[in-house]
Structure 1
Amino acid sequence: MEIVTHLIDTIKIAEVISDEMIIHTTEDSLDLLGNIYYQGFDKVIIYEKNITPEFFDLKTKIAGDILQKFSNYRVSLAIVGDFEKYESKSIRDFIFESNNTKHVNFVNTLEDALKRLGN
């Protein structure tokens, strides 16, 4: 796992890069969040491929548990990926509502993530 730093004005954004899945469980997300938080990052970018597929099945409640951790630490998150493949109305509604709150963002590109988190 590699963490790339992006600075936009005074906002320090961590881009988490890995070829492997990083978040399998809520505890994994808490470990990552703690690592990022204590390094002084304000916001985090992670890729869809690094998150367990169960995250995108809302019945598992993993998404809610993980996103609650980010909310508790007041760390904004952008998840970069192709979300059009999810056909479930509930996940599409969840993504739509998350993007409206701007604390959690589901975006297609790194550039979109930086734009959303840089505000």
Structure 2
Amino acid sequence: MSDEIIEMHGVRVLLFAGDGEKLAAAQDANTFLSETWARDATLAVIPVSRLGGDFLDLKTRIAGEVIQKFVNYQVRLAILGDISAWTDTSKPLRDFVYETNRGRSLWFIRDLAELDQRLAANAAG
């Protein structure tokens, strides 16, 4: 599978393929941001399979640094897939996911149906 552009509720979304370069360090965000801009998308959807092993370990600060880059460059980010293996064992991560999912810059979503619901709700105001 390759990267794919879709339109959802007026938002141009870049769905990254499940395989490819990993988002394992803050500087790796540049690769994903560059591809998002090149495809004129405003929302990048990155599968959990593309995250580096330490991404969801908040002590490494990788997630925070990556998210800050996306926010600075005004590109929304969604992490696609089941992260319950991590949230079940980390209250700080569970709290982080809860808080970010309340905002508009970063979402952790299980599937594209959940993304569709969130974008529909945002479009409705």
Secondary structure (helix, strand or coil) at the match of 1:55 reads coil
Alignment RMSD: 1.7
Query: Per-residue CA shift, 1:26-57, capped at 9, x if unaligned?
Result: 11111211221232101111111111121110
Aligned length: 119
Give unmatched runs, 5+ long, in structure 1.
Answer: none
Which residue does 2:113 correspond to in 1? 111
Query: Per-residue CA shift, 1:70-115, capped at 9, x if unaligned?
Result: 1011111111111221211111011000001131000111221233
Superposed counterparts of 1:49-88, under 5 Å? 49-86=49-86, 87-88=89-90
Query: What is the alpha-carbon distance in structure 1 between the residues aligned to residue 25 and residue 91 of structure 2?
Result: 24
Secondary structure (helix, strand or coil) at the match of 1:2 reads coil
Query: What is the alpha-carbon distance in structure 1 between the residues aligned to residue 16 and residue 76 of structure 2?
Result: 14
* Structure 1 consecutive aligned stretches of length 4 or more whose deviation exceeds 4 Å: none
Which residue does 1:10 correspond to in 2? 10
1:9 Cα deviation from its structure 2 partner:
4.1
Secondary structure (helix, strand or coil) at the match of 2:85 reads coil
Q: Is the 8 A contact 1:21 1:49 kept in 2?
A: no
| TM-score for the superposition, normalised by structure 1 | 0.89
Q: Which residue identity lines up with residue 91 of structure 1 in the other structure?
A: L
Secondary structure (helix, strand or coil) at the match of 1:78 reads strand
Identical counterparts, % of pairs: 30
Alpha carbons of structure 1 residues 61 and 71: separation in structure 2 relative to 1, 3 Å:
same
Query: What is the alpha-carbon distance in structure 2 between the residues aligned to residue 7 and residue 66 of structure 1?
Result: 24
Query: Per-residue CA shift, 1:49-72, capped at 9, x if unaligned?
Result: 111121110000000000001101
Secondary structure (helix, strand or coil) at the match of 1:68 reads helix
Q: Is the 8 A contact 1:21 1:52 kept in 2?
A: no
Q: Which residue identity lines up with residue 81 of structure 1 in the other structure?
A: G
| TM-score for the superposition, normalised by structure 2 | 0.85
Q: Which residue identity lines up with residue 42 of structure 1 in the other structure?
A: T
